[in-house]
A and B are shown apart, each in its own frame.
Chain A
Amino acid sequence: MGTFVARRLLESATVLLGVSFLAFAVLFLSGDPTYLMIPENYTRQQIAEFRHSMGFDRPWYMQYGDFLARAARGDFGVSLRSQLPALPLVMERMPATLELAVAAMLLSLAVAVPTGIVAATHRRTLVDGASMVGSLVGQSAPGFWIGLVLILVFGVELRWLPVSGRGGLSHLVLPGVTLAMYSMGRNARVVRASMLDALGHDFIRTAYAKGASRLAVLYRHALRNALLPIVTLVGLDFGVLLGGAIITETVFAWPGVGRLVINAIYEKDFPIVEAAVVLIAAIFVLLNLCVDLAYGYLDPRIRYS
């Protein structure tokens, strides 16, 4: 287990290094940020001095080394727009995004796991067919459109729920449902497939043969084995949810990192974009590391491979 953990830690570090390089490269290629940062009336002499003082005239690998050294200390520079440090601005928005993503994930699992189990145990019945078509529709509809339709129905027509901003639980309902839709559909299908897989094993027949009740077989024998792929899915899902949150936040004016990044992109406020990209990737990598370790703990075969 020790070597497994060490190897995965090293891999995560490499991935983060690569992400930081990608973030740097994308913005480096976008051109010299000097002109975004200086007043228009600067003379050529002043511009050259400014570039030199900011280090923009150095070769890219030196700038990257510098970027990396500063990033390691949590310093991504100041927002070009507000002149405030970039990382705290992003961090400040993180709780709102995490709240939305976690709510969507809980909702998705709360619907998908029971649906998948029922579909698997009632294979080839109307229930199975209907829930699988339903989950495919959930996977095929664009999230932002579902959001717009929900706003139209529950906000504009029925006036039941608030359609923008962050507040109590009622503010969380529409964006949460919108964001959860895609992963709900996918998870239900995965749960169904892995339940069917588990139910096909010999030990299920053995359990029935020794006289265990149907419920005991389903939950004690089948579900426990079916849960492994679902654990991995939760890790991957979180990345999808964080990405999806960017669009969902735009639709519902949710004050999270997604909206911050979108606005920063429109305004070419690159320090904010860099800080957000690296921070989101770090969360994602860390989460997947935890999932892998949990997986290795749950299924000993994995650690030794």
Chain B
Amino acid sequence: MRARALRNFRGSPGAVGGLVLLLCIVAAASVSPWVTGQSTTLVRVQDRLLQPLTVQGGYRHWLGTDALGRDILSRLLVGARISLLVGLTAVLIGGSLGTAIGLLSGYYGGWTDRVMMRFGDMQLAFPFILLALAVMAVLGPGLVNIIGVLGLTSWVTYARVVRSEVLSLREREFVQAARAVGAPAARVLVVHALPNVVGTVIVVATFSVASTILAEAGLSFLGLGVGASTPTWGAMLADAREYMTDAWWLTAFPGLAILMTVLGVNLVGDWLRDYLDPRLR
């Protein structure tokens, strides 16, 4: 099984490329303080808006500096940590919540199911970003707030997919048998249903990491994300707008960072879907 997965993976150039891209970003994010040796918040106005590759004060600014003289590369690397942190934690929250709701909805059916699914419909009737914006406007910017909002609003997809799987699993012999010998609902769900939906959940979760990173960038761009003092990719792009005509590098690099990260996740997700669950195509 493992060997087959590995062979299949190697045979897909997109998946390999995506994984390499992601590994590079994770590695860069985790070693960022030692690589750059530059403070991300140190303001040096005399070094403002330096072109990429400029050497200033014995230090090479590979990607230039921003309007306050802060090194772009250092800020991008710290931003990578925020993006990955928000993406992964929010997906963990949304995924667990959605999977639990889907399992219960599918297994019990009836009123629980109807109420949960209608609730999901309501949430989908909202353009998601509008909901997130309204909540962030009330709560105010902040790391915990944004993770909470993005996590709690993403459960619907998991719940729907898991529910439909459980509906069919419920009729299968091994589940019927487990119920016949008197296994409690919790055991049936965790031991028999959960392992059978895990593949699907992983696929949904992967794509969800991509969309969460994009959503965080968008909210931070609008000033309703993590908060002004933290160098997030979205906030860097918001700052870049003022200097667009004189400093192209302020706009180019944070956007490329987002694009590369999301593209990496999507490429791996594509392969995972084809491999784990071809029906989701």
A interface residues, tally (CB under 8 Å): 49
Give, as a whole number of angstroms, the nearest-CB distance from B13 to chain A. Answer: 9
Measured in the bound complex, the distance between the Cα atoms of B147 and A70 in whole Å is 34
Among candidates B121, B263, B270, residue contacting A137 with C-beta atoms closer than 8 Å: B263
User: Which of A139, A145, A239 makes the CB contact (< 8 A) with B258?
Assistant: A145
Task: Give the residues in chain A near B248, CB-CB below 8 Å.
Answer: 152
Q: Is chain B's binding surface mostly helix, strand, loop or mixed?
A: helix
> Is there an interface contact between B118 and A144, defined as CB atoms closer than 8 Å?
no
**CB-CB nearest in chain A for B14:** A133
> How far is B258's CA from A156's CA once the two chains are assembled, in angstroms?
23
B80 within 8 A of A: no
**A18, A140, A273 — which one has the most chain B CB atoms within 10 A of its CB?**
A140
Stretch touching chain B among A88-96, A105-113, A279-287: A279-287
Contact B127 A19 (CB under 8 A): no
Q: Which of A130-164 contact B (CB under 8 A)?
A: 133, 136-137, 139-145, 148-149, 151-152, 156
A15 touches B224 (CB 8 A): no
The answer to whether the Cβ of B108 comes within 8 Å of any Cβ in the partner chain is: no
Q: Which of B118, B138, B210, B237 lies in contact with A30, CB distance below 8 A?
A: B138
Would A148 and B244 count as touching, CB distance under 8 A?
Answer: yes
**Which of B118, B119, B218 has the largest count of A CB atoms less than 10 A from its CB?**
B218
By CB atoms of chain B within 10 A, which of A141, A142, A265 has the most? Answer: A142
Stretch from B47-55, B129-137, B191-199 at the A interface: B129-137
Report the nearest A residue to B211, measured CB to CB: A139
Residue-wise, chain A 9-42 has the 8 Å CB interface mask toward B (1 for contact) of 0010011101100110011011000000000000
Contacts A193-B281, A246-B127, A265-B137 given; does A144 touch B121 at CB 8 Å: no
- On whether the beta carbons of A18 and B118 are closer than 8 Å, the reply is yes
For window 77-120 of B, CB contacts with A under 8 Å fall at 118-119
Is B251 on the interface with A (CB-CB < 8 A)? yes
B218, A247: Cβ atoms under 8 Å? Answer: yes
If the complex has contacts A156-B244, A247-B218, A273-B134, are A144 and B126 also in contact, measured as CB distance less than 8 A? no
Q: Mind listing 7 A-B residue pairs with CB under 8 Å?
A: A137-B259, A142-B214, A144-B237, A145-B255, A239-B127, A242-B127, A284-B126
- Which residues on A are within 8 Å of B, measured CB to CB? 11, 14-16, 18-19, 22-23, 26-27, 29-30, 133, 136-137, 139-145, 148-149, 151-152, 156, 193, 239-240, 242-244, 246-247, 250, 261-262, 265-266, 268, 273, 276-277, 280-281, 284-285, 288
**Interface residue ranges, B against A (CB under 8 Å):** 14, 118-119, 121-122, 124-131, 133-135, 137-138, 210, 214, 217-218, 221-224, 234, 237, 240-241, 244-245, 248, 251-252, 254-255, 258-259, 262-263, 266-267, 270, 281
The 9 lowest CB-CB distance pairs between A and B, nearest first, are A243-B127, A145-B255, A18-B122, A30-B138, A140-B262, A140-B263, A265-B137, A243-B129, A141-B259
